[in-house]
Structure 1
């Protein structure tokens, strides 16, 4: 018997009186294709796509395997291959699909078994499109299972068919490939799961476990949110919020502002006893600093891991963002322990609560700064009716303007360049100005009460002094520290700070501002930026600097003492410091030698060398004046004398 000789009328036996139909000796039933499509649809909608696919694949496998075993002994086949060829023919005769063999390879000796075929008019693809529309994957699941079961019965080992193309996903026809599990290898692993019987009770138990876990997380999340919200309602500050969060999360908590200045900590030896206190802030994190620009752009919670003495320090960080503005960071710290989902949820709740508190504090600070700014503007402009009124306003702000002060004027020379990226967005430009002012306030935190006023693109600072005898140089050094701190947070900024004259009376404040601005203008003219300077430092020469062309001044300085600079650089001598000390000592050789820790003869040798190199006479008052002027220009335009 050959497979091609099979005829449906010879295989089918209908017994209408008994309500039975037999096909090749096995009882079968006839059912409507549309009803089958509806059954598939219900299975998919009730069990889900994967479970419905598994159900139909296993059903098809059972049908195919049983058909093969029934047909094996039903006929006397010319050879065993005719038995396997019968499977596709039975598919066609029963109305499921028309099979067109494409490529076959059977080798009983080597065990190689391969079949590639095309299916046309698949009832499964037709009904899936009718009831569900096109799918993104093949849908002939029962037919695939039938082919796998039939050929596994013939071969005596597990054969799996896989549909590659399918009309149900928009292809022109259905294509399938069949191989043994061994020949498929890892490629078939994802399909094998559909041939295994999964108890739905096990899956329901797993789903119940997941739901229980989610409920636990939800309950704890609600508890954290209620506890932290209570902190806000009771008017507790950031420090107490951090303490409550640390207690709830059982780890250390760090709160920092957008400039990474510490706002609050709650640290317990129970969690991070091995860490020194300096390791807590983000500024101390090597991993954060390594990619600081990238991390500062993050808007979602993220985790980084540092190491302290080979022990991993896990840090979970949540940015505090309100209306696209970064206000700061809340961090959780654990040594040698990772974070779970509940930690992320709790941290994000905390960030929201801290955001509310920071907004409240910022609004208060903004109001205070605006009032202080108005007060300072009136003080510096002399806009007050009498001294008592302005002193009373200062005292209302808890500030004493009768104490000695100096005014600092911070001039930003490249402001327009810095804000060009904001494309004239006033809101973003104001945020930039606020960040700059905050940075300056933070750098002056140790001084206590300091008034900062934004004026156009620059800043005006009111610096209190301990007593009137504090040298001008001390305030200049403070200004240099401000420049250093601001330059760290704003590396592209180009600025100068002018140090104003001493304020002992109310009318001195206006003069102090004028002198500070004048010092900045002089530095700007000399093209010297990134320095702190005062008119007191320049002395009477300030009159010249404010009126002369900077190129002419530099040319004059090099003409006078440029040869000494070159000699010091070439031979590593110290002629410039020697000259400066002599002029500071008003030409007194003995005092200069003592200050330089030189013998008188050693000093005289250097002085003779200076006169020889420059051609100038140190005893001549005109030459001495020119040299002093040249030294001051050199210090302002090319660095201080200490650098030489």
Structure 2
């Protein structure tokens, strides 16, 4: 592919021309343009150009001619055609030697052959060659696009690229996971997988024939397994999808044609990733809608539900626990604030959902359980497969795994969970969701907030909630704990928490002082304040019960 010096010297117009130097390199030397030039060369000659000259500027001076030839060689020209018979008759041996040392082609052109005729024929050949090249690259483009439209994968795309430009190719996603390769050694692929690469220096750019190609600025070079590899980003709608990698064995030049093929390959990869994303998003949307319907609607037709679940890869015959989580921020009072109401400037609910979903999948796989999960704004809904008698242990193991990893990634947020068991094998999804949701809300209302609440442990609070609307009870609660609330607000103390801790330790002053990190006498002073403010005795069982009941009702926000 491409016009070469060999095709030029084979033109009928040049049948009398003589190749003086560089004969072995005729077939591999590309010709991309042709020009006529006399001294000086300066920057008038570009790479891979066929240069014609009469030598008139040298005036028969061998040194000047030698310098002229040297300048042409250094410009990157492919060959030099010298008109002989007027100003130059025989090329001096030292110039021939200079050309041979640089593997440079010099052709002696008879004076009678007009440069205009040569340029006309060469430009015709260049245009014809470019036309053929454009036709071929267009065919390759159609072949690649058709492969994607016919549901072929990235491996087929890599094979098409390799077939036409004959260089090894690797295609990875943006996480550097190898999706396709052809032909690449296993050891090198492991290095790609490990993202083991070192950037090339600026003077190690690929050997290209056209730096004007739009692909060229996008090429980045790296050492992978001690080999030079070059990568180009694959993106769609400003979203980074992956990379196309290639290497150039024996420093093979990267031609315009090769860059065109690589560019079409990148377009095909982008289209494939776009199609893959669309399929994935459709599947995710269907699964999300299905799980939301399970949770938030009372489903009577279990047969239809199981059929839909099976199509999405879910087995509804299993026993599941429902886990409802909420993304929150813990404020200075150790309670929970909704994440969407007070979102950190560096956080995004969408990116949080991505990390949480990833960890849900990882945790379920790690403990060997099936999981169905979705998001509803800042609410996480999970159905986790479990055994009938182990749902507490299963839930704790699962959530411990999630939180251990998320605490490292999402330091500014906390996830609060409510957990409920499924009522029966073939249903109960809606009921268990409601119970998990209630457990979550009740846990948040506890003193300090509970990060994990099981519905079965909320029996007392549920009983208390049934009393919440009674006017006499509301009046008793206000009358009993209002002095404590006002005292805490005025003195910046926490007598309510002090009493609940004291009651938890069944009146043991030493244990209470140790947990609150107080001196024993300071604790006794607080306890006396509580008795004074409430007119209740902390050694009287009925008074203690009344105070605890009122505080619990107040914490449930019933006052």
Q: TM-score, normalised by structure 2?
A: 0.48
Q: Work out which of the two has the higher radius of gyration on C-alpha atoms and give 1 or 2.
A: 1
More helix by share: 1
With a CA cutoff of 8 Å and minimum separation of 6, indicate the structure with the bigger relative contact order: 2
